[in-house]
Chains A and B, each alone.
Chain A
């Protein structure tokens, strides 16, 4: 009974939209560039997913809180400034406390600034909704992104390196697939994943 009631709450639907029906990767096809680049290991996928989730959450929250004060002519510039500030925070945090992850993610942490998901949620949701729902929406979109990234990484890492989270999972003598370590390998896996997940989520393109 309680679950039925929860299904009709706004926050539940926001989370469902970010994770499933409006998933940024397999439905909206946003943020694919970094998804292809960093999904070659599970560790990178989790770190990048958490980074994007944090930036999307706080950026959406700030955009929502100040939406009545941001001039419409300057709104995109303002979003960029807010997003880049929090991206630099994530970058410095990783550099200070997780230097190994920072060096393995390389340039992609800084490129969260250009991730369409962050800007997309600010423009599509945060600018029209209260800050607490914007925070939940940012969380859901970031988690939706991380969910797909980790799924892809769970296939790519064993094939590319024979490991999952650094632990050997493939038998000795397994020939690693070099193509899975690089973006083209991610492209094939992501394509298959989008097909499977869209079928699961019953998200089909509408005929014109």
Chain B
């Protein structure tokens, strides 16, 4: 009996010390992690809108140039970022139910005021297979989206099509590789996010 009590006490002490360590780590790193995530987001939005900024002026330029519209979708806070100079709209995709083949793919997409024409797209976070699905972050893949138009009459308003496809449709790009399912996951992520944000955009009378 005494032996079991000492085991329980040991587990309790171990749990307490570990919890303290986790709280300490959170205090130590959480501000910087949040700042990194915000900086990556702001940098992407400002770059998409061709704003001139440096790392030291980024936050000031962002607050003076970007108007943020807040919404709640299924209990989740979401935002539309509207550039007051260009009238382009940016939003964060990949934060709803659809995810990548292995992990979440989160990024920023900037679209023109018609809510159809893509201005630019950047990936902020992904955990796909390095060298395969991980190529979703590469500019050579993402640059294909620039200038394309979402076709919201289709099931998939943007098609991440088969490799070597004709790629001549107004809403179609070549897929990352034939050896990964990340392309179709990415297509589903963009589709889901586009329709949600389009409805939000229309809800504010645009």
**Interface, chain B (partner A; CB < 8 A):** 6-7, 10-11, 14, 18, 21-22, 25-26, 28-29, 32-33, 36, 40, 102-103, 125-132, 134, 177
Contact = CB atoms under 8 A, between A and B. Distances in A.
Nearest to B34: A96
B25 A181 contact: no
Contacts of A106: 103, 126-128, 130, 134
Given A71-B10, A182-B132, A103 B18 contact: no
B25 A89 contact: yes
B131 A93 contact: no
Interface in A31-76: 37-38, 40, 44, 69-71, 73-74
12 contacts: A71-B10, A73-B7, A74-B10, A81-B18, A93-B29, A95-B36, A96-B29, A99-B36, A103-B125, A103-B126, A106-B103, A182-B130
A178 B10 CA distance: 51
A182 B129 contact: yes
Contact of B14 (A78, A107, A160): A78
The prevalent SS among residues of B at the interface is: helix
B7 A96 contact: no
The prevalent SS among residues of A at the interface is: helix
A94 to B, nearest CB: 10
Contact of B32 (A37, A97, A104): A97
Contacts, number: 63
Contacts of A37: 130
Contact of A160 (B25, B29, B103, B131): B131
Given A89-B21, A106-B130, 19 more contacts: A37-B130, A40-B130, A69-B10, A81-B18, A85-B18, A85-B21, A88-B22, A89-B25, A92-B25, A95-B33, A96-B32, A96-B36, A97-B32, A99-B36, A103-B125, A104-B134, A178-B131, A182-B129, A182-B130
A107 B132 CA distance: 15
A181 B10 contact: no
A89 to B, nearest CB: 6
A116 to B, nearest CB: 21
